[in-house]
């Protein structure tokens, strides 16, 4: 599959979908507020299967945060049910747009972490596909069972230890109000990890929702957000630029489980 190391253009995917061996397509539209399956049912890319970010691609919420790493065996079973095959390309997409949720990026990251090498994010997501006048469908395919083997550990993961290390560059992907601690609509504690730099995920895309460079450099970079989903959008953008950033999967929802961990507020630490 010829493409950027992380993303795939709509026009390229349109050709691949029509080919004799189309990639496995996963629709991972998701928000905190509503179930993405309704959007999938209303219309999706031909051949796409709905992947539930919460159920299929993450572990159970708890001490590890709201979207922790999945159990490898459970992830393998889910990916096989979704039709993911060993050595066969996968393309993931979400709603797209100028305010990314990070759902497709987290799906991409999870598959890469699990050892699936040939996986891309559709640049611009569902919105870009529709804007290009390409067909959508309400037909829900039943994929043949996949045979992928999950081998975890292929993407850099940070814990609270690396997140707190002042030698590292820690990026907070949440909106500025949550970073400053002005408002916290999801987690019980407001603020940010001391030393973090606020780069909201919306900065990773153009007004049309296409991925753009962040212009951040370094070899000790990691990202976090509320629960490790939106932060994956930062990881995706930096990875596409040739960097190898880490994801603090537990993110803020894990950081605040220990009251001894420091909390900063305001524009900076």
Q: What is the pLDDT of residues 59-92, one digit of tens each?
A: 999 999 999 999 999 999 999 999 999 999 999 9
Q: Who's near 54: CB < 8 A, 6+ residues apart?
A: 30, 67
Residues 89 and 50 in one domain: yes
Residue 149 lies in a domain: no
For the stretch 26-48, pLDDT in tens is 999 998 877 789 999 999 999 99
Is 168 found in the same domain as 123? no
Residue 1: inside a domain: no
Say if 138 falls within a structural domain. Answer: no
The domain that holds 173 is classified in CATH as 3.40.250.10
Catalytically active residues are: 225
Total of domains in the chain: 2
User: Is there a single domain that holds both residue 73 and residue 169?
Assistant: no
What confidence score (pLDDT) does residue 31 get? Answer: 87
CA dist 50 and 118 (Å) reads 19
Are 62 and 164 in a shared domain? no
Same domain, 36 and 104: yes
* Percent above pLDDT 70 for the chain: 98
Residues 174 and 214 in one domain: yes
pLDDT of residue 33: 74
In a domain, 234, yes or no: yes
In a domain, 228, yes or no: yes
Residue 265: inside a domain, yes or no?
Answer: no
Residue 1 pLDDT level (bands cut at 50, 70, 90): low
* Model pLDDT, residue 268: 72
The residue out of 131, 165, 197 marking a domain boundary is 131
pLDDT band at 2 (very low <50, low <70, confident <90, very high): very low
> Are 127 and 162 contained in the same domain?
no
Whether residue 264 lies inside any domain: the answer is no
Within-domain flag for 52? yes
Q: Are residues 86 and 120 in the same domain?
A: yes
Domain end marker among 115, 131, 147: 131
* 3-state SS assignment for residue 168: coil
Do 124 and 174 fall into the same domain? Answer: no
Overall average pLDDT of the 123-129 stretch: 98
- Mark whether 46 and 121 lie in a shared domain: yes
Q: Which domain holds residue 167?
A: 157-255
Residues 62, 98: one domain? yes
Cβ neighbours of residue 151 under 8 Å, at least 6 residues apart? Answer: 72, 114, 115
Give the number of residues written for the chain.
Answer: 269
Report residue 227's pLDDT band, with 50, 70 and 90 as the boundaries: very high
| Helix, strand or coil, per DSSP, at residue 65 | strand
- Global pTM reads 0.96
Cα 167 to chain centroid, rounded: 25
- Mean pLDDT of all residues belonging to the chain: 96
């Amino acid at each position: 599959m010829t493409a950027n190391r992380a993303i795939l253009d709509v026009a390229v995917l349109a050709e691949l979908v029509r080919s004799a061996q189309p990639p496995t397509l996963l629709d991972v539209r998701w928000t905190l507020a509503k179930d993405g399956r309704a959007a999938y049912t209303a219309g999706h890319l031909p051949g796409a299967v709905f992947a539930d970010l919460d159920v299929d691609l993450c572990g159970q919420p708890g001490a590890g945060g709201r979207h922790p790493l999945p159990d490898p065996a459970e992830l393998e079973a889910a990916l096989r049910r979704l039709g993911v095959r060993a050595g066969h390309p996968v393309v993931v997409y979400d709603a797209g747009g100028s305010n990314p949720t990070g759902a497709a990026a987290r799906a991409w990251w999870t598959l890469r972490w699990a050892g699936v090498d040939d996986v891309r994010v559709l640049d611009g997501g569902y919105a870009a596909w529709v804007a290009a006048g390409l067909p959508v469908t309400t037909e829900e395919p039943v994929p043949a069972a996949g045979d992928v083997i999950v081998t975890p550990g292929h993407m850099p993961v940070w814990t609270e230890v690396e997140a707190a290390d002042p030698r590292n560059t820690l990026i907070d992907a949440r909106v500025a109000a949550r970073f400053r601690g002005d408002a916290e609509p999801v987690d019980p504690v407001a603020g940010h990890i001391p030393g973090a730099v606020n780069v909201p995920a919306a900065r990773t895309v153009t007004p049309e929702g296409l991925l753009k460079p962040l212009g951040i450099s370094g070899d000790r970079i990691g990202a976090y957000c509320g629960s490790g989903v939106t932060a994956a959008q930062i990881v995706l953008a930096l990875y596409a630029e040739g960097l190898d950033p880490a994801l603090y999967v537990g993110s803020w929802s894990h950081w605040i489980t220990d009251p001894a961990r420091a909390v900063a507020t305001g524009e900076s630490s």
